[in-house]
């Protein structure tokens, strides 16, 4: 049974990944192009300033892959591969939760789990370490930011699991509504503490002295040679990043729920109708 659920999770993950890739390709990639154009233009302006100051100018390095390959093949493979992996983990979590969190039906549980995955795996870490396009972020902090982001994801998932356990424990003493509100409030407080404790890498305001977003490039006389990173590019890139994740997790939950329900819940209905299980569920029949 678990293998069949995982197979469905992998298939639904692939579908969700394709939908998220289509959204990201249409909406997010143009923002990446603008960020790369800014990075290249600022680099050329910096080289011109260095040359005028008599500094050595490093040779230009060619890109290993063209932008077309990165935007189509690279982005597509990356998103779909990640979505398939998430689909497998999602199916494992579903199999562990089903029947252990009350009398929740398969479709409802699939949606709850997708919402929880979106919040804990992506959105909560995003609040602390939001996605950034090229040219945003100090190259020297990439490794540190990656480690902290992964730590934030693991801590967020752990807090989500604890919140579910805490809510179940509260249900033995309070109504379901009260237990849900208290568990949710405890999760929010824990997340707020986590966000406050972990180190930051600058504010989100463009041009702030504390931000890693490039400000205006100045010449020795203090004149602006190149403008600061466009605030609208950063805003829309992050907005579309959230949108792609909403599509990924939403499609995963909506697609997986009916497949899991057909496998787990309608056995009695098939028996009454006299329909063999393999005919009613082709995926189950081929996996068995």
Tens-place pLDDT, residues 165-191:
999 999 889 998 999 999 999 999 999
The per-residue pLDDT for range 186-195, each reduced to its tens digit, is 999 999 999 9
Q: pLDDT > 90: what percent of the chain?
A: 57
Give yes or no for a contact between 243 and 23, defined as CB atoms under 8 angstroms apart. Answer: yes
Query: The tokens 């005919």 sit on which residue?
Result: 279
Which pLDDT value is given to residue 114? 97
Question: Residue 228: pLDDT above 70?
Answer: yes
Spatial separation of the C-alpha atoms in residues 147 and 128, rounded to whole Å = 13
Per DSSP, the three-state class of 38 is helix
Q: pLDDT per residue over 102-136, tens digit each?
A: 778 999 999 999 999 999 999 999 999 998 888 88
**Longest pairwise C-alpha distance within the chain:** 87
- For the chain, the structural domain boundaries read 2-137+217-287, 138-200
Give the model's confidence band at 88: pLDDT under 50 very low, under 70 low, under 90 confident, else very high: very high
Residue 217's DSSP bridge partners are 226
Q: CB-based burial of residue 149 (10 Å sphere; 0-12 exposed, 13-18 middle, 19+ buried)? A: middle
Counting Cα atoms < 13 Å in the Cβ hemisphere of 250 gives: 8
pTM of the model: 0.83
Q: Are 35 and 233 in contact (CB under 8 A)?
A: yes
pLDDT band at 147 (very low <50, low <70, confident <90, very high): very high
Q: What is the per-residue pLDDT for 33?
A: 92
E-state strands within 147-258: 217-218, 224-226
Distance (Å, whole) CA 94 – CA 82: 18
Say how far apart CA 258 and CA 252 lie, in whole Å: 11
**pLDDT, tens digit, 9 for 90 and up, residues 24-74:** 999 999 999 999 999 889 888 888 887 887 776 666 665 555 656 676 678
pLDDT mean over 216-225: 88
Angle between helices 231-264 and 2-23 (to 10 degrees): 150
For residue 208, pLDDT over 80 is answered with: no
Distance, CA of 123 to CA of 117 (rounded, Å): 9
């Amino acid at each position: 049974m678990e293998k069949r659920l995982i197979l469905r999770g992998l298939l639904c993950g692939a579908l969700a990944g394709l939908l998220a890739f289509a959204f990201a390709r249409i909406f997010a990639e143009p923002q990446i192009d603008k960020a790369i154009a800014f990075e290249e233009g600022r680099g050329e302006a910096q080289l011109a300033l260095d040359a005028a100051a008599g500094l050595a100018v490093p040779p230009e390095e060619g890109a290993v892959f063209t932008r077309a390959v990165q935007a189509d093949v690279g982005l597509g493979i990356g998103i779909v591969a990640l979505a398939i992996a998430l689909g497998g983990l999602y199916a494992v979590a579903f199999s562990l939760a089903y029947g252990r969190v009350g009398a929740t039906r398969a479709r409802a549980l699939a949606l709850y789990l997708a919402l929880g995955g979106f919040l804990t795996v992506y959105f909560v870490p995003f609040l602390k370490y939001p996605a950034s396009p090229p040219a945003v972020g100090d190259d020297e902090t990439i490794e540190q930011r990656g480690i902290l982001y992964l730590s934030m994801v693991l801590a967020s998932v752990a807090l989500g699991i604890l919140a579910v356990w805490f809510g179940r424990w509260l249900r033995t003493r309070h109504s379901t509504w009260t237990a849900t509100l208290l568990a949710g409030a405890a999760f929010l407080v824990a997340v707020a503490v986590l966000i406050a404790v972990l180190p930051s890498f600058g504010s989100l305001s463009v041009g702030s002295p504390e931000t890693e977003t490039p400000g205006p490039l100045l010449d020795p006389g203090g004149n602006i040679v190149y403008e600061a990173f466009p605030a609208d590019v950063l805003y829309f890139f992050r907005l579309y990043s959230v949108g792609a994740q909403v599509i990924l997790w939403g499609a995963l939950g909506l697609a997986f729920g009916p497949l899991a329900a057909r496998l787990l819940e309608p056995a009695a209905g098939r028996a009454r109708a006299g329909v063999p299980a393999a005919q009613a569920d082709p995926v189950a029949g081929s996996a068995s």
